[in-house]
Amino acid sequence: MSDTLTIDGKEIPYRPGQTIMDAAMAAGVYIPHLCHNPEFKPHGSCKLCMVNVNGRNVASCTMPAASGMTVLNDTPELNGARRSLLQMLFAEGNHLCPVCERSGNCHLQALAYYLGMTNPHYVQFYPSREVDASHPDVLLDRNRCIMCELCVRASSEVDGKDVFGLSGRGIQTRLVVNAPTGLLGDSALAVSDKAVQVCPTGALLIKRQGYRVPVGRRMFDHKPISVVQTEGGHD
């Protein structure tokens, strides 16, 4: 059997060892995703990339591609479930987009636009979460953190520093910083670290960059994330 599968009826080749997400990306087929970044090991936690394979829902970023798979991706059911996942992420954090420097460049928000999410639907948690402004060049605002662990993976896999980790369980989970004081300013983090670049939201921001690009002229203001991420470059 040849190494191909179909996504929404379109035949797509894959190499052994690739996941469904890898094969889709290589073929220019967009599968919504948030905690996944092709530069890092798949995490499989946000579940936005859920697809239906031969009748079962699976995370496409961790599921190995296999010959003859019939994958459904861009369907009203899956997009509806993805929208609900996004709404939960919005409701359990404090996402005040109008005052967030990432607005327009944020993957969470861009997915909400792409999936036509107009409201958080669920009762807002308004959790109490710490802001850490102790670092001279980087701001950590946990109100906007979606616990995707991209910074955790980047800091350990690329920067070799292990600055970030997740601590606590369930709704109490928080991003923690590897420093005796727990403060970013006392950690080994440098502004040039990969960990700072990969955050998909406004949880990690480089200071003194505020509004250099005006709202209205940002990455996802005119092009949906599906186009930006398949045109080339993950960002």
| x-or-dash string of contact with other proteins, 205-234, rule CB under 8 A | ----------x-----xx-x----------
Give the pair of three-digit tokens for residue 153: 């993976």
How far is the C-alpha of 216 from the C-alpha of 222, rounded, in Å? 8
Size of the site for other proteins (CB under 8 A): 26
Q: How far is the CB of 129 from other proteins (least distance, A)?
A: 8
199 residue type, one letter: C
| x-or-dash string of contact with ligand SF4, 96-135, rule CB under 6 A | xx--x-xx--x-xx--------------------------
How far is the C-alpha of 15 from the C-alpha of 215, rounded, in Å? 41
Q: Should residue 172 be labelled a site residue for other proteins when binding is judged by CB under 8 A?
A: no
Chain-centre distance for alpha carbon 93: 15
| x-or-dash string of contact with other proteins, 93-132, rule CB under 8 A | -xxxxxxx--xx----x--xx--x-xxx--xx-xxx----
Contact between 59 and 49 under an 8 Å Cβ cutoff? The reply is yes
Positions in 146-185 near ligand SF4 (CB under 6 A): 146-151, 175
How far is the C-alpha of 151 from the C-alpha of 169, rounded, in Å? 18
Backbone angles phi, psi at 60, to 5 degrees: -70, -20
Q: Which parts of this chain interact with ligand SF4 (CB under 6 A)?
A: 95-97, 100, 102-103, 106, 108-109, 144-151, 175, 198-199, 201-204
